[in-house]
Amino acid sequence: MIRWPARRRVAGTLAVLAAAALAAGCDTLGYYYQSIGGHLGVMAQAESLDDAIAAARGANDARLAQRLTLARQMRDYASRELKLPDNGSYRRYANLHRPYVVWSVFATPELSMELRNWCFPIVGCITYRGYYDQNDAERYARGLRHDGFETYVAGIPAYSTLGYFDDPLLNTFVYLPEGELARLIFHELAHQVVYVRNDTAFNESFATAVETAGVERWLAQEASPEARARYQIYDSRRREFRALLLGTRDKLVALYRAPLDDEAKRQGKARIFAELREDYARKRAEWGNYSGYDRWFDQPLTNAHLAAVATYQQWVPAFTVLLAQSDGDWTRFYAAARRIGDLPAAGRDAALRRLAPPATEVMPLSASQPPDKADTGR
């Protein structure tokens, strides 16, 4: 059941969204309705963790009962040790009977790594558009492709409503390995602490820095040696795969900036993507045929695949330094991050640059602007 303070937040949020929908065109109106209906459908299926654990035990589902118990321990740890919000988020559970909660659509031009933006009430402008039904996401992506964009439709296991709702644990992520489950819970709760409208790179980098430091502490203090060892293997693979993607991204940015005609760029692009597939096949063999990233290649490779990766890492080094300067004091760190987030965009970027260079500043994203003026996705 939604608590009364949460009900007031819900009512206010729905009123804002309804007003925005009435002022929008038909396409946007339909999008808002599916967003509101989809999220309320998720909330309606949620039950308390006590009830969910009891039901799992009654059904002899020891694995689910264990995962929910572990998730509750992580949730308590997040507020107690990481000073993340102590509210109703991730204290309920919903089985959606599908592999992802939403499917996000990313889009870029054919010969550019610059992600398209969409702007909405409350969250501001973001670089993706999410759907609760995969068919709706695929349908919207087809429309974008018809308009000349390249698209990537990604299944998303979790999202944050920034504290406006009490987000539940979901079957889409509760079975993740221990370290990955901790990362996800810490990451989504971090969005409730600091969130800057119209700055995806800031928001995702901040949450990624929180999750990275948080999971290190969880594993050191709460996890078994076996869980720590499994996480190290998992994390090593993720870092290598991310480096592979970012390296490919930088090759494409350089290609699109080169003084070549469009046909030559298309040929170069096809060659670079073929090299990525070959490099991944070699890396997969090194990992003992680990198939965890195979789904990334299920769709034809596009610029949108790679452009979506960079926004999660760009300012992580800066926030890592800021946490160290705060002597690991989470409350001081969050206050410092909020002060930076309150600055105008140019001042925000300058403050982060003074802390540490951005992780993905290898090449600018836009091929149409000079290097010192390009929009790097901030």
Secondary structure of residue 219 in the 3-state scheme: helix
Q: CB within 8 A of 78, min separation 6: which ones?
A: 84, 185, 186, 189, 214
Residues spanned by the domain of 330 = 45-355
Q: Do β-strands 124-126 and 92-94 pair in parallel, antiparallel, or remain unpaired? A: unpaired
Mean pLDDT of 277-302: 93
Instruction: Compute the average pLDDT of residues 284-309.
Output: 90
Domain presence at residue 255: yes
- Is residue 352 within 8 Å of residue 305, measured between CB atoms? no
**One-character DSSP codes across 141-189:** HHHHHHTT-EEEEEEES----TTSS-PPEETTTTTS-HHHHHHHHHHHH
pLDDT at 13 over 90: no
* Tens digits of residue pLDDT in 66-87: 999 999 999 999 999 999 999 9
237 within a domain of the structure (yes/no): yes
pLDDT digits (tens, 9 = 90+) for 356-371: 988 755 433 333 332 2
pLDDT at residue 367, as a whole number: 31
Confidence of residue 5 (pLDDT cuts 50, 70, 90): very low
Per the structure, the count of domains in the chain is: 1
Determine, yes or no, domain membership for 18: no
Whether 377 maps to a domain, the answer reads no
pLDDT tens digits, 129-179: 999 999 999 999 999 999 999 999 999 999 889 888 999 999 999 999 999
Task: Decide if 231 contacts 178 (C-beta within 8 A).
Answer: yes
Report the length, in residues, of the chain.
378
Which pLDDT score, from 0 to 100, does residue 3 have?
32
pLDDT band, very low/low/confident/very high, at 310 (cuts 50, 70, 90) = low
The percentage of residues in the chain with a pLDDT greater than 70, rounded to a whole number, is 87
CA separation for the pair 336, 14 (Å, rounded): 31
The mean pLDDT of the chain is 87
- Alpha-carbon distance of 311 to 204, in angstroms, equals 7
pLDDT for 226 equals: 93
SS3 370: coil
Looking at residues 257-261, what average pLDDT do you find? 97
Asked if 99 contacts 134 with a C-beta cutoff of 8 angstroms, the reply is no
**What pLDDT shows up at residue 46?**
97
Three-state DSSP at 91 gives coil
**Residue in the block written with tokens 């967003």:** 35
Per residue in 184-209, pLDDT (tens digit) is: 999 999 999 999 988 988 999 999 99
Give the C-alpha separation, 339 to 349, whole Å: 12
Which of 16-25, 117-126, 211-220, 246-255 shows the lowest per-residue confidence on average (mean pLDDT)? 16-25
Does a structural domain hold residue 370?
no
Task: Decide if 38 is inside a domain.
Answer: no
Output the six-digit token pair for 68.
């929910």
Residue 10 lies in a domain: no
Task: Confirm whether 369 is domain-assigned.
Answer: no
Q: What is residue 286's predicted lDDT score, i.e. its pLDDT?
A: 96
Q: What is the pLDDT at residue 212?
A: 95
Q: Dig out the tokens for 151 from the structure.
A: 């698209």
The reported pTM is: 0.84
With CA atoms as reference, report the closest residue to 325 among 316, 336, 315.
336
pLDDT of residue 122: 67
Q: Do 83 and 152 contact (CB within 8 A), yes or no?
A: no
Among 25-34, 42-51, 239-248, the range of highest mean pLDDT: 42-51
In the sheet that holds 47-48, the strands lie side by side as: 47-48, 92-94, 169-170
Residue that is written with structure tokens 């198939």 in the block: 291
